[in-house]
Structure 1
Amino acid sequence: MNKPSDEQLTAYLDDELDPAYRSQLDNAIADDPLLSLRVQWLDRSSLPYKEAYDELAQQAPLERLQARLDAIAPPQRPGLSRRWFIGAAAASLVAGGVLADRLLIAWQTQQSHNWRALVGDYMALYVPQTLDHLPSDEASQRAQLRTVDARLGLNLSPALVKLPGAELKRAQMLEYDGVPIAQLTYLDAKHGPLALCVTRSNSGRRPLAHERRHEMNVVYWTEGEHAWMLIGHNPALALEDLAKHLVDKLGA
C-alpha cells in the first residue's frame, strides 16, 4: 500500500476509517517499525484538552460561545476528536470569542513543549550500542547535514556542530504531525547518547532554559527562526556548557 499521510493515520487513531482500510493499516504498522513509530508519535497528540483548559473555560462566557458553536456545527458533530477540537477553536475565533484567542495561545504553547517531550520519549530508547556501530566519517556527516539544511533552512557543517567529548554519529530528519524535526545524535565518551535537535519556530529569541525528561537533562533555547534542544545524561551544568558552546558557534 502507499505511504499513509498523517491525516490518514490520525483518522486511524480516531477510529474514523472504513474497516477494510483500517485492516490494511494494521498489517502495515505491524510490518513497518518506522510507520509504527509515526503512529505512536501521532497518538501522543491525544492531549487531555478538557483538563488543560478547564481554568480558561471558567473565565469564559460559555453560554454565548456554545450558542455560536451550535449555530455553525456540522449536522453530525464528530465528538472531541483532534480535528473537531481544532475546528471548534477556529470557529470560535471566527465568531470573535475571547476564549478562542486564549485557547489558541495555550495550544501553541503546549505544542512548543510537546516536540521536546517527543524527542525525550525517543531518546529514552537509546543506549550506547544504538550508535557505536554507525559510521562517523566526515563525508557521511556532510551528506546527512545537507538533508537537514534543505528541510530546515540551516547551514550546518561537521565542524559547526562538533561537541567536546562527544562524537557525532548521525544526523537525520524526523517528522511529527507534518512538522520536521532534525536530530543530530552523538555518543558522549562518559555519558552515552546525546542529541541536538532543532525545529522551526516563530517564538523569537529565548535564552537557555533547563528541564528534565526521562531522567535526562535538557537545555533548550530559540534563536532566529529555529528552536533548539540538547538532551542527554550529562550533568545539567555540563550540558549547559555544551549548549553555550553551540550557541556561540551557531550564532557566529
Structure 2
Amino acid sequence: MNERATPSDEELVAYLDDQLDADQRTRIDAAVAEDSTLNLRLQWLARSSLPFKEAYDELAQQAPVHRLQSMLDTLPSPERPALNRRRFLAAAAGLVVSGVVADRLFLAWQLSQEKSNWRGLVADYMSLYVPQTLEHLPVDEASQRAQLRTIDARLGLSLTPAKLALPRSDLKRAQILEYDGMPIAQITYLDPAHGPIALCAKRSNSGSRHFSHEIRHRMNVVYWADMEHAWMLIGHNPAAELEGMAKSLRSRLSA
C-alpha cells in the first residue's frame, strides 16, 4: 500500500463514527486488512480517550466564582431564593468552562502532562499487542539493521541488534511512531513466557535520570533518561526482571 493511499487519522475517526460513504469505507476496510500497523492504529483510536474529567475538574477550580458572586450580589432582587443563587453560579461557571477560554486552558493542561503522556500513549498502543501480533514477523539481521537505520536517522541514535539483545526474547521489529510531531522509536520483542515487550525512546533534554517504575494497562514500565533521550521498557514481565533488562540495555546503549 503506497503512502498516498494510507488513510489519515481524520479519516479513521470518521470511519469509526460511521460518517463515510460506502466507497470510502470499502477503501479503509481494504487498507486495514493489508496493513497490520494501520489496523493497530484504528484499534487505538477506537479505544483511546482524553482525560476530560481531570481536565475540567481543574478548569472548574479556575472559574472566577468570587467575581461571579460579586456580580450576583449587585442584582436588586431581595426575594431571590438561595436556590437561584446556586443555579446562577453553577450556570455562569459552566459557561466559562465550556467556552473558548476553557478550550485554551484545556490545551495548556494537556501540554503540562506531556512529559509523562508519551509513556501513556505507548502503553495504550502496547495494550493492543498479543503474541500473534509479532510472531509472524521475520527476524533476519539484515531487516533489523535496515529498520534501525531509520530510527537512527530520526532520533540521532546508533543502534545495532547486538546492543538491543534481550535474554530469551527475539527482536521482532523496529519502527518509528509519531505523536503530534514527536517521533518515538519502538523496538518490539517477543518473550515466550510473557509476550510482547517494547523498548521505546524519544528525544529529551531534561537530563539524565535513574530508573523509575510504574504500571500502565497492567503492564510494568521501567523508564529512565540519558542526556539526549528518554527511554522506557514495557511488558508483562515482573518488574524486577524488567529492570534487570533495562540496566543491561542502558549499559550497552551508552557504551
Would the TM-score normalized by the shorter structure come out above 0.5? yes
1:54 aligns with 2:60: no
Counterpart in the other structure of 1:32: 31
Residues 9 and 180 of structure 1: CA distance in aligned 2, closer, same or farther (over 3 Å): farther
> Which residue of structure 2 aligns with residue 140 of structure 1?
143
* Alignment partner, residue 222 of structure 2: 219
The answer (yes or no) to whether the contact 1:30–1:36 under 8 Å persists in 2 is: no
Distance 1:35 1:159, change over 3 A: closer
Structure 1 contact 29–35 (Cα < 8 Å) conserved = no
Instruction: Report what 1:127 is aligned to.
Output: 130
Q: Deviations over 1:37-88 (max 9, x none)?
A: 4355456665133532423542465799xxxxxxxxxxxxxx979xx789x4
| Alpha-carbon distance in 2 for matches of 1:192, 1:126 | 9
Alignment of 1:167-178 (within 5 A): 167-178=170-181
- Alpha carbons of structure 1 residues 198 and 58: separation in structure 2 relative to 1, 3 Å: same
Counterpart AA for 1:116: R
Identity of aligned residues (%): 60
Q: 1:201 aligns with which of 198, 201, 204?
A: 204
RMSD, aligned CA: 3.6
User: Structure 1 residue 171: deviation in Å?
Assistant: 1.0
Are 1:228 and 2:231 an aligned pair?
yes
Q: Is the 8 A contact 1:198 1:226 kept in 2?
A: yes
Gaps of at least 5 residues in structure 2 are 68-96
Alignment of 1:14-25 (within 5 A): 22-23=20-21, 25=24
Q: CA deviation at 1:220?
A: 1.4
**In structure 2, distance between residues paired with 1:13 and 1:207:** 43
| Inter-partner Cα distance in structure 1 for 2:47 and 2:203 | 20
Structure (1 or 2) with the larger CA radius of gyration: 2
Give the total of aligned pairs: 217
Residues in 2 aligned to 1:168 and 1:14: alpha-carbon distance in whole angstroms: 33
For 2:166, the equivalent position in structure 1 comes to 163
Q: Which amino acid aligns with 1:222?
A: A
Judge which range, 27-36 or 210-219, deviates more.
Answer: 27-36
Letter in 2 for 1:193: P
Q: Give the TM-score of the pair, scaled to structure 2.
A: 0.68
Q: Counterpart of 1:217 in 2: which secondary structure? A: strand
CA distance in 2, matches of 1:39, 1:136: 26
CA displacement, residues 204-235 of structure 1 (integer Å, 9 cap, x when unaligned): 33322111223221111222332211111211
